[in-house]
Amino acid sequence: MSSIAQHLQQVQTRIQSACQAAGRDPASVRLLAVSKTFDASAVRQAHAAGQSAFGENYIQEGVDKILALQDLALEWHCIGPIQSNKTRLVAEHFDWVHSIDRIKTAERLSAQRPAGLPDLQVCIQVNLDGGSNKSGVAPDQILALANAVAALPRLRLRGIMSIPEPGDEAATRWVHAQAHALWCSLQQAGLVLDTLSMGMTADLELAVAQGSTMVRVGTAIFGQR
C-alpha cells in the first residue's frame, strides 16, 4: 500500500471517530484531499486508493493537474483566492469553488461558465476571526452576498467555507460554532444549503464536532509542504 493510501485510511478513521464522538453519520462528512504543491502522480496514487475529490489553492497549478489527469473521473475544488484575471480558468476547469467572497467574482464565474458543463458548485467564504485584510466576507454581509450568488445562472450555491486563524482549541471551536450558526441562519432565511466546508489537518475533529460536512485535508494525506 502506498503511503498516500495509508494516510488516506488514517484520515478516514479520524473522520469516523470524530463522527462517532459527535453522534453523526460518517457519511455526512466528505473528505476533500488538498493536493496543492503535490504533483499529478500524488493525485493518481490518492485516486487509486479511492479518493475522487481534490482541492487546489493556486489556479494555474490546479488547471495543469486537471489537464494532466483528464483520464480519471475526478472532482476538482478551487479553495484559494481568485483574482479577476483567473476567473475564466476556474469557470472552465473546476467543478466547485469554495472561496467566493465578492459578487464580482461570482458574476464573472457565472458569465464564463461554459454552457456545456454542469453548474459550477459554489460556497461563500466567510471571515469570522480575521481583520479586513483576510479573505472572506464579513458575517453581516453574507446573507446579501448569498442571495445575490444564488440568483446567478450556471452557479449553484451549496454553502459556506470557513478557515479559522491558527489558534488554541477554544478559539478554533468558537469560530467553527459561529460558522455553523451562520450556515443555519442562511438556511432559515430560505437558502437551500448542504455544505459547511471547514476543518483541515489540525482541526478536523473540532470541525466535525461543530457540524462540518466537508473537511479539506492536505498535510495528513500528502505530507508536509
Ligand X SMILES: *Cc1c(COP(=O)(O)O)cnc(C)c1O
Q: Report the run of H or E that residue 149 belongs to, with start and end.
A: helix 142-150
Residues 6+ apart with CB under 8 A from 23: none
Q: Is 62 in the site for ligand X (CB under 6 A)?
A: no
CA triple 28-29-33, angle to 5 deg:
150
User: Which positions from 14 to 53 touch ligand X by CB under 6 A, shown as an x/- string?
Assistant: --------------------x-x-----------------
Query: Based on CB atoms, which residue is closest to ligand X, 34 or 145?
Result: 34
Nearest-angstrom CA–CA distance, 47 and 2: 11
Q: Is 218 in the site for ligand X (CB under 6 A)?
A: yes
Closest contact distance (angstroms) between CB of 37 and ligand X is 9
Closest contact distance (angstroms) between CB of 134 and ligand X is 12
Q: Is 154 in the site for ligand X (CB under 6 A)?
A: no
Nearest-angstrom CA–CA distance, 97 and 121: 6
Query: Based on CB atoms, which residue is closest to ligand X, 70 or 224?
Result: 224
Residue closest to ligand X (Cβ):
218
- The C-alpha cell that represents 20 in the structure block: 462517532
Q: What is the three-class DSSP state of 28?
A: helix
What is the signed CA dihedral for 150, 154, 160, 162, rounded to 10 degrees? -140
Q: Of the candidates 200, 206, 207, 214, which one interacts with ligand X according to CB under 6 A?
A: 200
Name the residues that contact ligand X, by CB under 6 A: 34, 36, 57, 79, 163, 200-202, 216-219
